[in-house]
Structure 1
């Protein structure tokens, strides 16, 4: 169940950060976007906190941030057609490898 909480934290953080991008590309202030950003970040941090009851903090945070970085980079490429140099993809692969290694050698968690 803690991995469900971590998954909710990741998805809600992705939504909030994506709304930040939408807000930045639109001219003017949109209170509904701001409300959505606040709500989804609150959900994200609450859910992340719930996952910390079992998963070690470093492991949970590494998974949360790494998955967010990778998915948001892919979304930037697909949705906004952002072009990245090959080094960015190498860096993303290293991030994923780091999280996998952290999960393999971190203290046992349920």
Structure 2
């Protein structure tokens, strides 16, 4: 398998793990609930391990920008759809800017190394 493709697959899995961990962070109720608290830890460890593997191929700044940007967007969407947390217009605009930044970086930056 192409190393760059594998790196992006691992990055996607790292993002999913981080967002899942963040979702359980809400359910942990300040780490007072054992099972959700353990799941936070497990998913964060998985996420950081996968991110560390991604860094063998994708530069830190690029990988972290994608990981955090996509994670922010997905976490906001989970907050909106699952936890019924509202997003006002400035929040939606900000999320759009994050998505735009990740797209610009991946499409136009020579740092990404396609």
Deviation of 1:33 after TM superposition, in Å, equals: 1.7
Give the corresponding residue for 2:109. 105
The alignment's TM-score, normalised by the length of structure 2, stands at 0.86
Give the corresponding residue for 1:9. 14
Stretch of structure 1 that moved more, 42-51 or 74-83: 74-83
Contact 1:12 1:40 in 2 (8 A): yes
Over the residues paired in the alignment, what is the CA RMSD in angstroms? 1.6
Q: Which has the higher contact order (CA 8 A, sep 6+)?
A: 1
1:66-107 C-alpha deviation (Å, 9 max, x unpaired)? 111111111111112112210111101111111112222142
| 1:16-27 mapped onto 2 (5 Å cutoff) | 16-24=21-29
Contact 2:24 2:39 in 1 (8 A): yes
User: Which of 83, 92, 101 is the equivalent residue of 1:89?
Assistant: 92
Change (3 A) 1:108 1:34: closer
Give the corresponding residue for 1:51. 54
Q: Structure 2: 5+ residue runs without aligned partners? A: 1-5
Separation in structure 1 between the aligned mates of residue 104 and residue 86 of structure 2, nearest angstrom:
29
